[in-house]
Structure 1
């Protein structure tokens, strides 16, 4: 970013200094500033209490001067600043060759004059030197020497207009060698917050800030927050959404509740039908065994209980037991059977007892149940 414009301002110093004609040659020594704090002598309103320069500041000013490829110009009556408006030429009266700091006195310049400028000074036609310098608008510290002019009216009318013209002419550009650029700390913080480099231009920074503001308005709306909600509130809302998303069920791996309930109902109905069918099969198997003599009537309940508890065991038993003819039909041809006087059982019943290995008493007890 063109950073210096945010921390620098132009001054056309009405605190001009007397000119002394060079003793020999064309090089003249000019006092550019006094030492310490100083103000314009025309009493104009300033945005700083005073301008200021000391040895440390002067060292930086000299370094900046030495780094320039084109030496600053010395002209007449600041015509360099007026030429675009009045259309008149702006001839040079000389060029700055070097700067030096003199303790207790101020900043001085060595200027090589043109022959005409030297003659003007020698003849007393020009009596004052007026510098143009850049300064920090917060502290008033002198930052850089831009140019200077020969003048006979140090307290120039329209000085403020000249200052603005100078600012436009020099674009307040400065590139100090071997030191950090003078940048407003607040601007640096804004650039960092926007993720922009320090070399970002002012126009780019404004565009990015405008876009960022628009994004924040949209983000607040999406999060259901008030238009004035702080960034901390937006962060909290985003954190909550992230936590909710982390615990949410993946739709691709889940089944709607309605589908699950429907399946549970169908499974229950199918289970009931299978149970009914199994019961029917059990009843049929027991009935068949009673009919063909594999089971006695007294064994019916036992068969039911075993079949419900372990159907496979009942089926295995019925597959191995031999049918007893006496249990499957009548051996008397339809006539009442003759009972044994001793046991009270007829021949068929006694045959069953023998086949099953039970006593007559057990048999009669089972019949009576």
Structure 2
């Protein structure tokens, strides 16, 4: 087991409006930094580098709660003054990023705090963090205060240390931590396992669990397919293919018979009222089908002279000496109505001897 090394706790101050870039806000500056108006005894300078920042990022991501931003460090003062410590905002624990000028995170400001910041009623962020007293290295980010009074100039560091118990910070202590010894036993590691070994064992366990889930899902899919193939269909819900095809043939025949009967009726009607001038036109319309016949009857005007028998000779007596080639007025009217030339009309409707 690692020995628990106590570390002091401090707080610094950052100008809020100049610390926000690309939706992220700087929470702790990079490199060597001190309090704005000089460090108090035993309170700095501090140092934050890329390696330490990565450790802070991993520690934050492993927590189950986001990092609170309160008003004027009320989280530390609540036991003294009995007042509540509402959040002015929350830092998304999974959003921490290391950049060249410091540790950044995404803040979700509450409406009241955002309005106060926009109105310039609050200007500074004051992160509370433990540090190594020998090197000044920052070890963690505990919480942050929205303030106008740089925290290092107050008793905040002492309050922070006192709240954590025995005036020091325990690096193995988490607000929502699990029992380290029990975790090591569950993972089958030795009692002196390092954080890296624990993380590696957890990752292996997660990989194994993911593989098991995929195998179970694949087995379930295969079982579903096999069950579907093995299931016997209810034959009462089906008919033989030959019966189905026979029914289709019969239906097509019924439809064809219905069309023929309808076409015969339409042609008979057209012959009676003169909209169909003769047998040739009737035969042509029969070949075109029901739709073409209906369209013809719709547009062709009835011809009174052609009603009744289509073989009645309506020519004048003096037409007989012209070998029957001249059309009568009713016949010419039919040609005009149907667009048939007189020659074609006579060709398909010769004068009976």
**Same fold at TM > 0.5:** no
TM-score where L is the length of structure 1: 0.42
When Rg is computed on C-alpha atoms for both structures, the one with the higher figure is 1
TM-score where L is the length of structure 2: 0.44
